[in-house]
Amino acid sequence: MSKELPQPQQSEEVDLGQLFKLIGNAFDRFFKFIGSIFKGVFGVIILFLLFLQKNFIKLIIVGVLGIAIGLYLDMTKKTKYVSTMVVEPNFNSVQQLYNNIDFYNELARAEDSSALADVFKITKKQASAIKQFKVESYSDENQKIQLFDRFVRSLDTTTRKAIDMKAYLENFNSFDARFHSISIIATNNSIAKKIQPIIINSISNNNYFKLQKETDSTNIEFQEELYHKQIIEIDSLQALYKRVMEKEAARPMQGTSINLGENGGKENKELALINKIEELKSSLVELNEERANKSSILNVISDFPNKGVKEKGIFKSYKFLVPCGMLILSLFVFVILSLNTYLKNYKKN
């Protein structure tokens, strides 16, 4: 008796056909959806180009008029000059520095020349030339890493393990920076140099910061004296070890036994003393650098120049700002008028 081959089930063929049909319909709808998006975007672009074509002459007139007005304003306005000073605040005085600059800037924005003249001991005419004060931090990645290293060194071993450099750098703010730049914008190119001593003294004459500086100087002197005493003591120990070794070398040898452990121990002690002296000398160098860096409450890294430089930049020029503003306003008005016309026609239809 012959065996018949198994025939595929009709239901399975129907299911596969429906599945492929559903997949095909899904792709078809997807591509139609993408096409409708592109068609809509293209339609909007065409409408915008038609709008520009219709109002092209008007926009050209507005742009030319704006450039003319901007050129006139640029020629008639007073030239502004920028002067910049770089400082390094010590003893947590950076917050006070920012507060003072913000106060000066508020007076300049309010055009309170009388108050500015009193603060900086200048004439009202000179004070009226000051237009703006700015202060901002100056730091790159290398300086941030150095500050992180200095911060970690000041912590105990347990706390160091809990500090993450990435988190520290992410939370780094302007007050943490070592250097800060102070800028003055004025119509008088030499006024910044005249008021520089007042800006510095407003921080340096603060009694709290002066007390912090005196305390820090006392601590540095005490630490330096301690280092010198330790170096003298180590020198005395080295001399003692040397005399002991000379006496042991002068004694006659008894027998043939040699105690390598004892000699090795003395040599290790002497090497440890040498390393300690080098460590103390490095600490003295760092202490001298700290003394130099903290010799003033506010270190001036770069003074204000004798004469400021002209403020430049296309975004500060009226011949750019005025036409841009007029064109934006004109486009808005033309759009409103076109929309109003469309709505009237739509209502009629």
pLDDT at position 257? 47
The answer to whether 120 and 211 have CB atoms below 8 angstroms apart is no
Q: pLDDT band at residue 315, thresholds of 50, 70 and 90?
A: confident
Mean pLDDT over 100-120 rounds to 94
Q: Report whether pLDDT(84) > 90.
A: yes
Instruction: List Cα–Cα distances, 120 to 101, 111, 116, 300, in angstroms.
Output: 12, 14, 6, 18
Give the model confidence (pLDDT) of 182-217 as tens digits: 999 999 999 999 999 999 999 999 999 999 999 999
Task: Write the Ramachandran bin of 84: left for phi over 0, alpha for psi from -120 to 50, otherwise beta.
Answer: beta
CB burial class (10 A; 0-12, 13-18, 19+) of residue 200? buried
> What gap in Å lies between CA 180 and CA 89, rounded to an integer?
8
Amino acid identity for residue 349 in this structure? N
- Provide DSSP, 14-75: HHHHHHHHHHHHHHHHHHHHHHHHHHHHHHHHHHHHHHHHHHHHHHHHHHHHHHHHHHHHHH
Buried b vs exposed e over 148-183: b needs ≥16 C-beta within 10 Å? Answer: beeeeeeeeeeeeeeeeeeebeeebeeebbbbbebb
Q: Report whether pLDDT(126) > 90.
A: yes
Mean pLDDT over 243-254 rounds to 71
pLDDT at position 147? 67
Lowest mean pLDDT among 36-40, 114-118, 191-195, 211-215: 36-40
pLDDT at position 244? 75
pLDDT at position 10? 52
Q: Report whether pLDDT(335) > 50.
A: yes
Q: What percent of the chain has pLDDT over 70?
A: 80
- C-alpha dihedral (187, 191, 193, 195), degrees to nearest 10: -130
Give the model confidence (pLDDT) of 262-273 as tens digits: 555 555 777 777
Average pLDDT value for the chain: 82
pLDDT at position 342? 77
Give the model confidence (pLDDT) of 287-304 as tens digits: 888 888 888 899 999 999
Give the model confidence (pLDDT) of 220-242 as tens digits: 899 888 988 888 888 888 777 77
Q: pLDDT band at residue 154, thresholds of 50, 70 and 90?
A: low
> Would you say the C-alpha torsion 231, 232, 235, 236 has a positive or negative sign?
negative
> Of 260, 113, 135, which is closest to residue 191 (Cα–Cα)?
113
